[in-house]
Amino acid sequence: MAISHDPVTAAPTGIDIEAWTVEQAAEALQASSISTPPPPRPRANVTIEIPLDDDALAAANAMATAEPRSKQEVHTVYKRSAPVRRDSLKRREALLKGKEGSRRRQRWENDRLLSNPYAQPPLPSDWEVRPTYPIHNVPYFLAPLWDAEYKAKAQAKITPRRANNVGDTRAHGSKEEQAAARVPRELREKLKKSRGAKNMLQDLEEEVRSFVQQWSSKERQMAEDDLVDGDSEDEEIVFVGRNGAMSDDRKRSKSVVSDDSSIASISSDDLAKERMILESLVDDRSAAFGRWLVHSIATYYGLETWSVTKGSPARREAYIGLKHKAAPAFDELPRPLYVLV
């Protein structure tokens, strides 16, 4: 068997650029050429359109095949609006009630007392125009009984109830006492701003109240003993019997005046109808407020006030007195002014 010896070709080895010399590098650069690559060849692009709606395809075909029409005015017809639901009482009532379980429905049921088992519908008599308080028809022949007994009982119940109310001074009978027992608004406002003046008001008012109480007690005592001086213009009628004897009433009145030591001891000073309440120097400006308080207190109790300048050095004195010669006595003093303001 013959064995052929083929020459073995050596594998190509890489170029060792680092071992090149300068001459070899220059030769290699001259032998190589640099040029731009050729542009890529264009590919054939195919666009495929797939209509998703048959109507759109039909409309496109119709537009392509349609002949162009001449321009003309087109009559525009507006689309008919949807009909509005008609309003009705049933729908209104449903809106007022609201849905079942809502708060509107709960309010609607509460307003009409639907959940109250004791609710009663109104009667025709409830719509009549008449007073709401009970009316008691009293026969005419029973009117004297009312004036004699029941009216007094009713007044006896009302009077202490009014007197116990705070700030109510209408328990007095006469109109003058009612008008005097009103608290001035100006006094309320000034004492509200100056709290320290309340003690001063209390001291002055206690002195005025003592004067009114003394005068009222003396007036009642003299009225009980028939010692109240009448009008000078009134004529005094005295019944004189035989031998110059007067009536028993006249003798009794004289004996009371002569024998009763308590009444005989009453002097003109005790029955003075005026009293000095406040005294201060003329130059004292702070005393002006005190005099103003005296005037306010006197107005509250229906008294008369005035100020007098006396002495040297000059002093200013504030007095209170009765407006009438025979002033009516207070049955019950009104509430203190320092309590009401």
Q: For position 181, what pLDDT does the model report?
A: 53
High-pLDDT (> 90) share of the chain, % = 10
Q: For position 113, what pLDDT does the model report?
A: 92
Cα(341)–Cα(167) distance, integer angstroms:
9
Number of Cβ atoms within 10 Å of the Cβ of 272: 13
CA of residue 327 relative to chain centroid, distance? 43
Number of Cβ atoms within 10 Å of the Cβ of 97: 14
Q: For position 323, what pLDDT does the model report?
A: 73
Closest CA to 212 of 119, 93, 112, 332: 332
Burial 56-89 (b: 16+ CB within 10 A, else e): eeeeeeeeeeeeeeeeeeeeeeeeeeeeeeeeee
Q: For position 335, what pLDDT does the model report?
A: 79
Q: For position 234, what pLDDT does the model report?
A: 44
Cα(337)–Cα(320) distance, integer angstroms:
16
Low-confidence ranges of the chain (pLDDT < 50): 1, 166-171, 230-270
Q: For position 268, what pLDDT does the model report?
A: 42
Cα(161)–Cα(155) distance, integer angstroms:
10
Q: For position 239, what pLDDT does the model report?
A: 46
Domains and CATH numbers, the chain: 92-127 (no CATH), 175-224+272-341 (3.30.1370.50)
Region for 239 from its dihedrals, namely left if φ exceeds 0, alpha if ψ lies in -120 to 50, beta otherwise? beta
| CA dist 102 → 110, 130, 211, 214, 281 (Å) | 13, 39, 73, 74, 79
* The pair of three-digit structure tokens given for residue 37, joined into one six-digit string: 């690559």
In the DSSP assignment, the letter for residue 237 is P
Phi first, then psi: give them for residue 72, nearest 5 degrees. Answer: -150, 160
| CA dist 173 → 37, 185, 219, 333 (Å) | 133, 23, 17, 12
Cα(332)–Cα(131) distance, integer angstroms:
37
Q: For position 179, what pLDDT does the model report?
A: 56
Q: For position 141, what pLDDT does the model report?
A: 85
Max distance between CA atoms of the chain, in angstroms, equals 217
H or E element at residue 305:
strand 304-310
Residue with token string 């220059």: 26
pTM, two decimal places: 0.36
Strand-pairing partners, residue 320, are 275, 305
Taking the alpha carbons at both ends of the chain, their separation in whole angstroms is 154
3-state helix, strand, coil in the chain (%, to 5): 45, 5, 50
CA of residue 231 relative to chain centroid, distance? 55
